[in-house]
Amino acid sequence: MLASINYVDVLKSASGVELMVLIILAGASAYSWALIAMKSRQLRKARAESVAFLDTFWKASRLDAIYQASQQLESSPLSRVFRAGYEELSKLAQQKGGTEAAMSEKLGGIENVERSLTRAALAEITTLEAHVPFLGTVGSTAPFVGLLGTVMGILGAFNEIAEKGNATITTVAAPIGNALLATAAGLFAAIPAVIAYNSYVTRIKIFDTEMANFSNDFLNIVKRHFFK
């Protein structure tokens, strides 16, 4: 049973390689849990504010009113994508006096708005994906790092047995059991990291799709009202 393991004795009897592996895995696990908490909070807030922004966007009748409301929703990727498109649209309006007819004559105007939306969406994806690859790295490499510690521990145990010439179950069980702790530590670090990584990648893909759909809807509205 895990509760009956004396971890202090295990650490005292561990080799230098085993200790290094356990320290690395402990650090990776602690940092992974910190990232999981941070990204969960970030994505949860982004989802809540995106829902609120879409509700405002489709109910409001003026773009400037939507822009003012979006400034209170800083955590929403959709809100920031909208502001990028709206600000580019405002620049075009100011350049040509702000009239719809003048804006219609602006060659490439709609392409400028589209590029602004695309750049903003890419920036939001980059922000959402920040630190997520680390979780994938921990999930894929931690078991192998733990296995390395186990293999080195077992090799050390067998070398000690060979020197003493005593290979009873009593002398073999303890060092090999201690060595297997490194594998368990690797799995402990990897499993939550993999679960969180897959969850975050899926949720970020949903945001990516939503931003693409919103950009298309926004462009359609802009074309109907400003680029007739």
Q: What is the pLDDT of residues 103-153, one digit of tens each?
A: 445 545 688 888 999 999 999 999 999 999 999 999 999 999 999 888 888
Instruction: Give the max Cα distance, the chain.
Output: 96
Q: Which of 157, 163, 214, 153 is CA-nearest to residue 185? A: 153
**pTM here?**
0.82
Is residue 1 very low, low, confident or very high in pLDDT (cuts 50, 70, 90)?
A: very low
* Gyration radius (Cα) of the chain, Å: 28
Cβ atoms of residues 63 and 223 within 8 Å: no
Residue ranges of alpha helices (H) inside the chain are 7-13, 16-59, 63-70, 77-95, 100-104, 109-129, 132-164, 169-226
3-state SS track over 173-221: HHHHHHHHHHHHHHHHHHHHHHHHHHHHHHHHHHHHHHHHHHHHHHHHH
Is residue 56 very low, low, confident or very high in pLDDT (cuts 50, 70, 90)?
A: very high
**Average pLDDT value for residue range 171-178:** 67
- Determine the Cα–Cα distance for residues 179 and 58; give it in Å rounded to an integer: 60
Give the rounded percent of residues in the chain with a pLDDT score beyond 70.
Answer: 79
Q: Would you state the structure tokens that stand for residue 83, as one six-digit string?
A: 């502001």
Cβ atoms of residues 33 and 197 within 8 Å: no
